[in-house]
Amino acid sequence: MYQQRTLALTLQQALSSFPAVLLTGPRQSGKTTFLLHEAGAHADYVSFDDPLERDYAVQDPNGFLARFGQQTLILDEIQYVPQLMQHLKMRIDRQPERNGQWLLTGSQQFALMRDVSESLAGRVAILELPPFSHTEYPRNTLDETLWSGSYPGVALYPQRRDLWLRSYVSTYIERDVRQIRNVPDLRVFNQFLTLAAARHAQEFHAAELARELGISQPTVKSWGSILKASYIAHFLPPWHRNYGKRVVKASKFYFLDAALVSLLTRQPDASAALAGPMAGALFEGWVVTEVVKAFMAAGRKPELYFWRSHDGLEVDLLIAIGGKLQAVEIKLTASPNAGHLAPLTRLLGTLGSEAWEQGLIVCRSDAPRALPGGHQALPWHQFAAWMQERLRGG
C-alpha cells in the first residue's frame, strides 16, 4: 500500500530543474517506494544492495551506465559505489540540458555527501525523505502516535512493532555504524544508544556520557555525529544573537522517532509511556521532529533553536520562518494557563521585531484558542498541518 508523501511536489520541481536528484534519509523511511511510485513508471531501477550490480558498476562503470542508454535511471544505495559519481558527472556534462535522468538514493550523510559535493556540485538536487509526518499518516490518539512512531514498517503494520524496532536497531548498529565509523566495540555503542535515548529532549553533554560509559569525550561526540549522519537524531542548538555562542553551547538532543525512544528506554506500553516520566520528553521530541519533517518536505534546511534565559526560563522551540522567529512552547496539558506563557512573553520582549508577535503553545487542547497576550494554543494533532502551511507562506 502506497502512502502519498508531501515531498512529491518538491521532487517534481527538482526533476524539472536538475540533471540528477539525490534522495537521502534514514533506512526504511520509504525512499525506494517513493521514487518507484513517483518516477518509476518511465525509469529503470538498480539496487546496489545487489552484489552483482555493485561489482559491475565498480569494475566497468562506463559499461554499466551504457546499458541504460537515455533511459531515466534510479540508482538505489549509491553510497556503495562512490566510483560511479565521476562517470555520472561526465555523462551529465555531455547533456547538461537534460534534466531528471538520474535519481539516486542513499542512507548516510558523511561519505555520500562528500562524494556528491566533489563530483556533482551544481548538477544535483539533494532532498531528504524522513519517515511519515502526521499529515501523511495521522493517528487518532497521542499515545498511539508516540508509541508506534512514524517508520512505514511500523505505521502500516502496527502488530509487528516490537519485532520491527528491535530488528531495526540491531541492523542499524551492525550495518550503518560500522560503515560510517570504525567502532571497535559495538557493545559499548549499544550502551551509548540506550543512555542517549534516556536523555531524549535534554541537553547533550558529552563529558557526562563519557564518564558513564568509560570512554573519551571525543568518542562520544563522534558517536553523536553518527546518530545525526544516519538520521537517527537531531541536535537543536541554543538561540544566541552571537553566532559563536550558538556553536559552543550545548545543544538539545532528540531522537527523530518516538517509538525508538520508547523501545530503548523500555516503556511497557503506549499508556504507560504517555503517563510516565518520559511523557513530556516524548511529546516535545515529536513536535520538534514534525518541524524537521516539514522543512525536509519543502526541500529546505531546518533553522531551529531553543532559548533559555540567564534565570532559567526556557522556550522549547524557535523556528526561523519568513525572516522572523516563531516561538513555540510544548506542553502536555489540555488547559494551558498564564503560567505557561511567561517564557514566551519574556522571549518575545527580548527579540522584539526579530520574532513573530504571536507565540504558540502546542498542547492537548481540543481546539485552537486565543490566550492572553495575543498568544495561541494549538491542538497537537493540528500542528503538522499548521507547520506546513506556515512554510508555504514563508
Q: CATH: 1.10.1040.10, 3.20.20.80, 3.40.50.300, 2.60.120.1270. Which one for 8-128?
A: 3.40.50.300
CA distance 239 to 360: 17
- Stretch(es) of the chain classified as CATH 3.40.50.300: 8-128
Residue 150's contacts (CB-CB under 8 Å, 6 or more residues apart) are 130, 131, 132, 133, 137, 257, 258, 259, 289
Given a contact cutoff of 8 angstroms between Cβ atoms, the answer to whether 102 and 266 are in contact is no
Class of domain 304-393: alpha beta
- Stretch(es) of the chain classified as CATH 3.40.1350: 304-393
Does the domain made of 142-297 have the CATH classification 3.30.420.40? Answer: no
Q: Which residue has the cell 519485532?
A: 163
- Stretch(es) of the chain classified as CATH 1.10.10.10: 142-297
Nearest-CA neighbor of 233 among 269, 260, 271?
A: 260
Return per-residue pLDDT of the chain as tens, 394 residues: 789 999 999 999 999 999 999 999 999 999 999 999 999 888 999 999 999 999 999 999 999 999 999 999 999 999 889 889 999 999 999 999 999 999 999 876 656 777 787 889 899 999 999 999 999 999 999 999 999 999 999 999 999 999 999 999 999 888 788 777 778 888 999 999 999 999 999 999 999 999 999 999 999 999 999 999 889 999 999 998 775 666 558 999 999 999 999 999 999 999 999 999 999 999 999 999 999 999 999 999 999 999 998 888 899 999 999 999 999 999 999 999 888 999 999 999 999 999 999 999 999 999 999 999 999 999 999 999 999 999 998 7
